[in-house]
Amino acid sequence: QVQLVQSGAEVKKPGASVKVSCKASGYTFTSYYMHWVRQAPGQGLEWMGIINLSGGNTNYAQKFQGRVTMTRDTSTSTVYMELSSLRSEDTAIYYCARTPYGGNSRFDYWGQGTLVTVSS
């Protein structure tokens, strides 16, 4: 069965960086895209960007350009999202979610979420 398993909660100080992982299993890793979506406490969902798991090319939301880096390791079927220059407003649950190639890009499977807390 398809599973996306994310790394554990993180506590970071303002200005630091965080790297969250998402390990995929149960399907052909490179046949899908992976996205990162975040949710601040009590708030809605915010799309951060996408990585093509086959070629590794990325497309980031303008809001995160220059601060976010998405990478993948095809040997371990793992995707990474690194966010730098953290501020308190980055406190949120970060989700990885996959979409199929072609057609309608729907997030059909999600990771369990990783809470990142930014606090001095």
Residues of this chain that interact with other proteins (CB under 8 A) are: 35, 44-47, 50, 59, 61-63, 95, 97, 99, 103-108, 110-113
* Least separation in angstroms between CB 39 and other proteins: 9
SS3 assignment, position 92: strand
Bridging pattern class, strands 58-60 and 32-39: unpaired
SS3 assignment, position 98: strand
* Backbone phi and psi for residue 91, each to the nearest 5 degrees, phi listed first: -60, 120
Q: For residues 106 and 116, give the distance between their C-alpha atoms in angstroms, rounded to a whole number.
A: 25
* Least separation in angstroms between CB 54 and other proteins: 18
Cβ proximity to other proteins, 8 vs 103, nearer residue: 103
Cβ proximity to other proteins, 29 vs 36, nearer residue: 36
Cβ proximity to other proteins, 62 vs 120, nearer residue: 62
